Every structure is written in structure tokens, then in C-alpha cells.
Structure 1
Amino acid sequence: MTLTETKKAFATLGKFLSQFSEGNTIKNESVPHNDTFFDDFVNLIQLSQSHNGWFTPEQVYFATQSWAEALTEDNLDKWLSNYIINYTEPKTVGLVLAGNIPLVGFHDFLSVLITGNKTLVKASSNDQHLLPFLAKYLVTIEPKLANRIKLTEGKLENFDAVIATGSNNTARYFEYYFKDKPAIIRKNRNSAAILTGNETKDDLIALGEDIFRYFGLGCRNVSKLFVPQGYDFKEFFEAIFTYGDVIHYEKYANNYDYNKAVFLMSNFKLLDNEFMTLKEDTSYASPISSVFYEYYSDLDSLQQKLEAENEQLQCIVSNGLIENSIPFGQTQKPALWDYADNVDTISFLLEI
């Protein structure tokens, strides 16, 4: 099998996924194997919430569209243009996937296959259905992929390298268990936004997308705000009122009520808009329905702090205030070349 054939298969998958969006799912007769897969994928999206209560159709459609936009021939070519990829000695790469947001491990799955290697996938119990379905579609498009995709429910065995994602606690287990193999071990990370008080209402509404998409469960979700001394949160609250309907989702509402009660019983001072709380805190990892904030005195000192604590951070959002920050509203739309933890997965795979 060649790199060209693998890219073509994933580009075709992108076309398949492009048919599915909330309120506008339209069957494209030119997409291969729609008769077999289209209706089943519609049903899977609708059933996803029964498999994982956080995987509402809205969130799964968003993930689907994000991957449809990423998996184009142009994007695949641009992504891989800086690498020399040979399919001469395929290795088996174990993937231990997270399940916090829909298809969160798909980039690792794609990276292994696009580099000519074999996947040995252990899916999270929270996301056991979406990726296997897409893998089945890929094999139908390109049967040569069949011997390069294996899914397992047991422990990983007979692999050459591993990419494992989990919490800080599980990462310690991964580091011990996989100590004799080349590995990428991912731990907890969070994302932060820097505000100055000069943001427009549109900026702040877009920031709400970074906060509330996937109910805030992703490492790319903003869970911490850095604001200047004396910052007035009035405009921030007015802008994110756009997302107030989130409180009507029972699982989110239960977290809001619980976490707010815990904070209040601990006599913490809170800012509250009836669907989200703001708490002054130096930590990055805030609970669901809450965002932490911290004051800064000047941007130079803040940048030094962020550089010192970069291993806790996945993304930083701002209006270009610091190098490599992401524009408001874009955290959950990473490009193929935006690597988790800034670790180049393709280079790792080419070196094993």
C-alpha cells in the first residue's frame, strides 16, 4: 500500500463525514458506499448519547464536521509536505485513547496509518463506537487497510510503540507499563485565555465557544482566564449569555448545582450568572460549569509565568497578545499540524 492510497482513503472519509451536520444532513450520491453506511451513521450519532451522556447529537455533529473540514486532499498534502514517509518497515503502534470528547483519539489513529504503520487500538469505554465505525468505512473504501487496523478490548500486546492518553494518575501507570517501548504519554492539560478589557463583544462570544463546546470537557477548552487588575466581568457575562441554554442539559445542570454548592459551602467568593461560576483561583483545571480567573499586572510577567507552566497548558487564547496564541473561538478546530502537547506525532512515528 502507498501513501497516496492512504491519503485518498482518508480524503474520501472526509467527504463521507461532510454529509453530516446538525439540522442539515444531506446524502450526497457521489460519496462511495453511502448505501451501506449513511443511514447507520445517522443512527449512530443519534444513539451516541445513550453510550455516553455527554455525547449529545450537537456535539457529535460538531466533531464530525471538524474532521470533515480537516480531511481534505489539500490539508493532507500540506500537513505531510515536510516529512519523508516510506512504507517499507511498518511497525505496530498501540493507541490507548481517551473518551472525554467525541473522536478525541482520531488524530493519533490517522497519524499511525498515514505513516504506513499498523494500529492496535484500545478505545475508551466512554467512546467505543464512533472510531470503530469510521475504521470499518475506511476498510470498505480501501481493503488494504484491513491488516493495518486492529481494535482490542483487552490489554495491549505485541506492539512496537505506544501513544497513550489519560489523567495524571493513569500517566504514571502508563510510564511504568510502557517503559521499555518508545512512547508518547499524555497527561492532563488545560487551556487558558488572556483578556485585556479591550475585546469586542464578538471576541467574547467566540470565547464562549472555547469554554462551552463539549461542555468544557476537552483539554482545548478554556478553563482559566487571565485578566488585568480591576477587570470588569460585566461585558464578559453579557456576551456569554448566548450560551445560557447549556443549563437545560441535565448532566451539565447537575454539575453546576453541585460545584456551586461545594464552592459556597467552602465560603469561596464567586461570580455567578445562573449557568456558570467564575472563581478566583491559581489552578488551571476548573470543574465543569466553572471557570477560574487570575489577575495579572503586566503581559511580560504573565508570559514568563505561562512559559514556566507550559506543561500544564494545551492552548492559550488571545488577540495575538503572545506568540502562538489562538484566536477566540478556534480552540476546538485544530488543524492536522496542531499537535497535542506540541509533540510532533508524525516525527515520533517516523523514528520508531
Structure 2
Amino acid sequence: MKKCIKYLPQHADITEKDEQFDAPRFAVAPMMDWTDRHCRFFHRQLTQHALLYTEMVVADALVHGDVDRHLMFDRDVEQPVALQIGGSEPEKLAHSARLGAQYGYDEINLNVGCPSDRVQSGAFGACLMREPELVARCVEAMKGAVDIPVTVKCRIGVDDQDSQVALDDFVGRVFEAGCDGLWVHARKAWLKGLSPKENRDVPPLDYDRVVRLKADWPNRFIGINGGIVDLETAARLAQQLDGVMLGRTAYQNPALLADVDTVFYGEKPSLPNMDKVRDAMIGYAHQHMDGGGRLHHVTRHMIGLFQGQPGARRFRQIMTVDASKPGAGPQVIADAFAAITQAKRRDAA
């Protein structure tokens, strides 16, 4: 049985002794178009304990749309997994949170960090940092609807806000409303003038601001996100905060996830068994395609697995080009892994 999530800061006074983690020390960030259920199944082959997130699901889609399509996931494999919701209407968010809990998610997370025009036009995401009272009402409504943790993912500020003053006010209000944990992307979001891609790179990182926030709230869970490119940096930040969250690095170089359980959860070091990963993904691809899915839905998340290793270019080629050909089946995955084995043998000869 997997250990479940308990959102307590690492330095809190804990008297209860059980088999739960004190906090999800490592998480893979929610990423639109990337962290779907196929991606999460793949990532779970590499780390048993990291907290995985869905893509952001808009509350309106759960109120008016196909709930199964948005929320179904493999509870036997993917957990612990959190549902991220986007919205700004407390009643809709409470309804969405309730659905998430019914479907078995371990956490509900409110997106207060996405800067895209589409999200802004819906009056949610990062623009909500200007409305801390509204976010507090949203959190309070979600907390009243579920018994699982409700968290918020935000930026350190938006546009010309003073990130010292505005962030303190925002955080104080959401914690007072009952927020169980805060994940902070350590950059401002510029809502006008920068694209979503530029907002992930151009505004300067300010890890110290998040560390100071933790010092102000020692008994609350505060995790950090943004620009973390390796586990060494992640582990260093984890010494000062309650959790670290990797996004693009974890997706584009997923092999680093194979060390997460050792670095963050005390597992004994061991080499990742890529034969088991291969076999699991072949079986998963068979199941997905038997249900009418396409091979590319699965393989597109795997192309960075052997980044920087002999045969990686050929692996990527097979996983992208060959997987998209008419009639392509799970054998493509076996062929791609075989290319890595062959390259390593040539390299060793």
C-alpha cells in the first residue's frame, strides 16, 4: 500500500506516529498538455513516492463537461496524485473539489499561477494574486467540501506588485482560510507583455523570497517551484523548505526521477531497471490501444528518457517518427529500448 499524503511542514511538532509521510517532499509540477494520465503512468515507473499532478482542469469543465474524461485515472498505479483545478467561483470550485475527492485524488490544488491569456480571460490563474480575498473564499469553499488537503500554487507576485508586501498579504489570507499547503513558483508573472513561455524564463528567480516566506510561516507547509534543473539543487532547497517541485526538467529528462526515492524518501540506492520500465510501458500501450487510443499518446512522454546517453538520438527518432506511422504498435517501444542497448554495446566495445 502506498503511503498517503499528510501536509505537515518538516519542522512542525508531530506527536502522531503512523506510516504517512510528514510532507510530499518532491513533486512533479502540473503542466498543460504534458502531465496527462499517460505521462503520470510513465513517471510512476521511475518513482514510487513523488507526488504527481494532473494538468490543470478548469472548474467549468467539471461542472458542465465530461467528468470521467477529465478525472479518470489509475488509482492502483498513479497515486499519490493531486488534481489541479482552475477557477475563481467558490461554488464551482467546491463542486469540482468534491468530484476530485470522490474520484480518489489525494489532494486538490488551486491554480493561482498560470499567466496565459486564455486563463486570464476566464478571470483565474495568476491574475487572482490581485484578489487575495477572493482566493481565500475559494479555498474556504473547497475546504468545506472535502476532507483531503487543499493547496494553492501561486507566483511571488504579478506585474508591478511589491512581492514582499503583496505575497505576505496573499499568503496570510489563504492560510487563514484553511489552505493546507502552498507551492510557490519563485518568479513574478507578467500578465501583459510576456507570453506564457517567456513567463517561465524571463522574470528573474527569487528563491530567497520563498525561503523568507517559510521563515515567517514555520508551522505551515511551503514548497518551491521554478527553474530547478537537477536533484542537487532540489535537495539543497529542500533543506530550507518543506517541498520542491520540478516541471520541465522532470518532463524533458525523466531519468532523474529514478533517483528521487533515494534522495528524498530514504530508499536504498539502486540502478533503475529499464527492462521493467520498458515492459510496463509496452503493456500499458497495449491496453491504451485496445481501448481505441493511439501509440503516440504514450510514447510522446518518453522521448527524453535517455537524454545524453549513447543511442538517445535514435531512441527519440523511433519514439516520435516510428510511433506516429500508420499501424504502429507497442513493438515500437521495444525497438526504441533495443536501440539504446545496441548503442551501449557499441560504446563498450
TM range (shorter): under 0.3
TM-score of the aligned structures, taking structure 1 as reference length: 0.26
TM-score of the aligned structures, taking structure 2 as reference length: 0.26
